[in-house]
């Protein structure tokens, strides 16, 4: 491993290693599925029959594209086919990554509870990097102002109670790049690299 960590970091547990490197599970995708992934990862054609349009690109019928996408959604390879909003354009100018130092014995239960709180878009357990980075629970909050994010964070703080030793809110102040995921043998990223300043 070439990953730098602080020298005092304890050796990772067996569980942590397994979590970091789960066994490959490609959801049973075959070459045709992967062709569909490649053709749609940048977006779906905005036409009345998008499945047919994708099908023409990858050489299969629209009905087959639809059936395969349904199967991929069923198996969780596709989370959903949806609109991804630009937070800032919708007025969500305060985007805070809240990070919490939560008792390891309680984090799995509390993580699920925090994740269910209104306004939390993403919630994960991640490794600490002691002594500099003690935080092991991450929850993304989005508000129209920092005050709104802080009100939401206070709700999380109360829910975590005594199990939480410390927390921080890391606001994003600039999008440096946002190309989305480019997987499965696609061409090198062709999306624009943004360096827009953000309030």
Partner 1 sequence: MTLDDLDTVDRRLINRLQDGLPLVARPFAAVAKELDIAEGDLLYRLERLREGGVLSRFGPMYHAERLGGGLTLAALAVPEPDYDEVVATVNAFPEVAHNYRREHELNMWFVLATETRERISETIAGIEAATGLPVYNMPKEEEFHVRLHLPV
Q: Which of the ranges 19-27, 147-155, 157-165 carries the binding residues for partner 1, by CB under 8 A?
A: 19-27
CB of 152 vs partner 1, minimal distance in Å:
13
> Pairing state of beta strands 137-143 and 94-102?
antiparallel
CB of 168 vs partner 1, minimal distance in Å:
7
Per CB under 8 A, the list member of 79, 105, 158, 199 interacting with partner 1 is 79
The rounded Cα 92 to chain-centroid distance in angstroms is 18
> Hey, which residues between 125 and 184 contact partner 1 (CB under 8 A)?
125-127, 129, 132-133, 138, 142, 168, 170-184
Could you tell me which of 73, 117, 111, 99 has the C-alpha nearest to residue 167? 99
Per CB under 8 A, the list member of 75, 145, 165, 166 interacting with partner 1 is 75
CB of 49 vs partner 1, minimal distance in Å:
7
**The residue count for the chain:** 199
Per CB under 8 A, the list member of 25, 30, 158, 162 interacting with partner 1 is 25
> Hey, which residues between 82 and 121 contact partner 1 (CB under 8 A)?
82-87, 89-92, 97, 107-108, 111-112, 114-116, 120-121
Per CB under 8 A, the list member of 35, 60, 123, 164 interacting with partner 1 is 123
Residue 81 or 154: the one with the smaller Cβ distance to partner 1 is 81
First to last CA, the chain: 37
Contacts 24+ apart (CB under 8 A), 176-184: 180/41, 180/42, 180/84, 181/41, 182/41, 183/37, 183/41, 184/34, 184/37, 184/38, 184/41
Is 77 near partner 1 (CB under 8 A)? yes
> Hey, which residues between 54 and 73 contact partner 1 (CB under 8 A)?
62-63, 66, 69-70, 72-73
Could you tell me which of 166, 93, 132, 134 has the C-alpha nearest to residue 153? 166
The rounded Cα 96 to chain-centroid distance in angstroms is 14
């Amino acid at each position: 491993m070439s990953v730098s960590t602080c020298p005092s970091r304890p050796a990772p547990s067996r569980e942590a290693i397994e979590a970091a490197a789960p066994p490959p599970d490609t959801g049973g995708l075959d070459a045709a599925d992967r062709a569909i992934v490649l053709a749609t990862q940048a977006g779906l054609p905005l036409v009345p029959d998008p499945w047919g349009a994708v099908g023409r690109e990858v050489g299969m019928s629209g009905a087959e594209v639809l059936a395969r996408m349904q199967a991929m959604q069923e198996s969780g390879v596709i989370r959903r086919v949806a609109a991804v909003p630009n937070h800032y354009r919708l007025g969500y100018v305060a985007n805070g990554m809240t990070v919490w130092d939560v008792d390891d014995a309680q984090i799995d239960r509390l993580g699920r509870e925090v994740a269910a709180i209104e306004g939390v878009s993403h919630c994960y357990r991640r490794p600490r990097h002691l002594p500099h980075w003690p935080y092991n629970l991450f929850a993304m909050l989005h508000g129209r102002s920092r005050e709104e994010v802080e009100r939401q964070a206070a709700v999380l703080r109360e829910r975590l109670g005594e199990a939480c030793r410390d927390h921080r809110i890391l606001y994003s102040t600039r999008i440096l790049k946002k190309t989305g995921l480019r997987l499965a043998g696609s061409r090198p990223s062709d999306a624009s690299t943004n360096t827009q300043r953000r309030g």
